[in-house]
Amino acid sequence: MYKIALVALLAGQASLLPRPPQPDFVLYNGNVITVDASFLVTEALAIAGDRFLAVGNSDQMRAIAGPATRLIDLKGRSVIPGLMDNHLHGAGGGPGVDLSRARSLADVAAALAMRVKTLQPGDVILSNSDWHEAQLKEQRLPLRDDLDRIAPDNPVILVRGGHEYIMNSAALARSNITDKTDVPPGGRITRYADGRLNGELVDTARALVRLPPAIRTPNDQLAARVADYKKLNAAGLTTVRHPGVSIDDYRMLQGIQKRGQLTMRLNVLMSNAINMDATAPTLLQSGIEMGEGDEWLRVGGVKLAVDGGFEGGLMRDPYEEPWGENRTFRGLQTIDTERYVAVVREFNRQDWRVATHAVGDAAIDLVLNAYEKANAEQSIVGQRWSIEHAFIGRADHLPRMKALGVAISAQNHLYLAGPSLVKYWGATRAGITTPVKMYLDAGLPVSSGTDAPVVPYPPLWTIYHFMTRDTIAGGVLGADQRISREQALRLATINNAWLMMEERTKGSIEPGKFADLVVLNEDPLTCPEPRLRDAQVIMTMVGGKIVYQR
């Protein structure tokens, strides 16, 4: 109605139709990229309350401003819809040793040695998780012997992404992990060439590790989460989809919302806490309903997982040597097939949307088999079930995905981990890791994110990577999977809104949608690619409120 009324007003026929409300904001003299169906690029926009009121040229938007309207001269800067991340655990950081800026093993040693100086012998040293060996000059992990030289008297546990711990001798002893420790199904305890444990524990083997108790109070955790969201706002994020949220964490998020402290829209995939002595998922007994919530906090489904990460993706073909262990290692399956299928079918019967972590091609096979069995009982088509990551998609997956209406939740892991994936899987598989163009060409719905803190959270890095296929330390991998700037912007905005079934209310700059936007100092459609990656976020708005201003 407002759009029609505005057109009439500008034509000099204001008396025939209701006058639109006075805008609270008019942003003008800019480069407004709407990311609507026609991908309109214009100069200005108006906001009333928490919604976009109108878009047009600067004269049109200024003409509808009232005495109380705040006028913002963009001075040629660009405006895009608020950016979204389809798979973000957290912003990273925290009280552990920060290795995110380390670029060599010497840097890692210096950061750990500095922490040792502040502790007593026997105190546990824990790292933050937002780092990867591919960022290091040596392109390898710091292992047990390395850590023993740095901290012989303190247990050291390096948390690497979401799938791996690396420990020194003191930490292994603290958890009673020895050469004779049984490896749990779906896990891996790796060794040096001479047979000694090298301190690396992967996926389910991490359950053997005794971590130090959390020292933060519930209020501290809540405050840290609020601070995280402000950090993400500063990077241009206005919505994140949290994968694997526990019931307790969900209740904490509800508490933040009740306090009016949310500056970020949240779509949560609940964690599937399965009873060890029963097949019924406890989530279905919690009272939490699929889809409950509002535009600020909504339950978007349940997250499952079938394989490992970089070092444990389940593959049809063996890993490269020496990781292939004489051509026998094909990755890790982290849940029994029958149990996974049973859980998927049960969630479908209860009308829950399912999202499954699957990295390797064999893992995607497993997921599609389960989804097809669930679909045979009750259609999942149109329900926007997803595969999270889908690193190694194959041509034979595409028709099966399309028939089920499966969405691809893609992330830019390759940008950080490219050189390591070449070592694990070979150059050919690394080059097709996250084949976004292949998925788009097949007509599949694809959205983008980061998996932070497994990889860094800046959303502009994601857009840059999918446009260029460049990596931090390994050059361009899989140049044939590059996509256009327009496609990359859609992945980070309207396609994410579609994944969350909220494309009618957000994801583009259109009258009636929530006024979520980002102001950049660069034009993402024309600036040199590295300048887009490093562009400054000048302002972020969520629901017509400024949540970050540079």
> Does the pLDDT value for residue 3 go beyond 80?
no
Mean pLDDT for the stretch of residues 316-345: 93
Among the listed ranges 16-20, 70-74, 335-339, 374-378, which one has the minimum average pLDDT value?
Answer: 16-20
pLDDT at position 371: 98
> Does the pLDDT value for residue 181 go beyond 90?
yes
Q: What is the pLDDT of residues 390-443, one digit of tens each?
A: 999 999 999 999 999 999 999 999 999 999 999 999 999 999 999 999 999 999
Confidence of residue 276 (pLDDT cuts 50, 70, 90): very low
Pair of tokens at residue 429: 């598989």
Mean pLDDT for the stretch of residues 506-529: 98
Among the listed ranges 114-123, 130-139, 271-280, which one has the minimum average pLDDT value?
Answer: 271-280
412: nearest Cα among 476, 463, 369: 463
**3-state DSSP percent of the chain in helix, strand and coil, to 5:** 35, 20, 45
Mean pLDDT for the stretch of residues 515-544: 98
pLDDT at position 272: 79
Give yes or no for a contact between 198 and 192, defined as CB atoms under 8 angstroms apart. yes
137: nearest Cα among 109, 115, 157: 109
Start-to-end CA span in the chain (Å): 34
pLDDT at position 281: 58
Among the listed ranges 83-92, 108-117, 159-168, 250-259, which one has the minimum average pLDDT value?
Answer: 159-168
Task: Quote the mean pLDDT of the chain.
Answer: 93
Confidence of residue 273 (pLDDT cuts 50, 70, 90): low
Mean pLDDT for the stretch of residues 150-163: 93
Q: Which long-range contacts (CB under 8 A, 24 or more apart) does 282-289 make?
A: 283/247, 284/346, 284/347, 284/350, 284/352, 286/247, 288/247, 288/250
pLDDT at position 476: 97
Amino acid identity for residue 197 in this structure = L
Q: pTM for the whole thing?
A: 0.90
546: nearest Cα among 315, 233, 186, 331: 233
pLDDT at position 321: 87
How far is it, in rounded angstroms, from Cα 542 to Cα 233?
Answer: 9
202: nearest Cα among 301, 281, 312, 296: 312
pLDDT at position 8: 35
161: nearest Cα among 509, 474, 452, 504: 452
Top pLDDT among 214 and 67 is at 67
How far is it, in rounded angstroms, from Cα 350 to Cα 373?
Answer: 15
Among the listed ranges 83-87, 272-276, 363-367, 479-483, which one has the minimum average pLDDT value?
Answer: 272-276
104: nearest Cα among 70, 141, 78: 141
Reply yes or no: is the peptide bond before residue 453 cis, omega within 30 of 0: yes
Mean pLDDT for the stretch of residues 98-119: 94
pLDDT at position 382: 97
Pair of tokens at residue 11: 């034509």
> Does the pLDDT value for residue 280 go beyond 70?
no
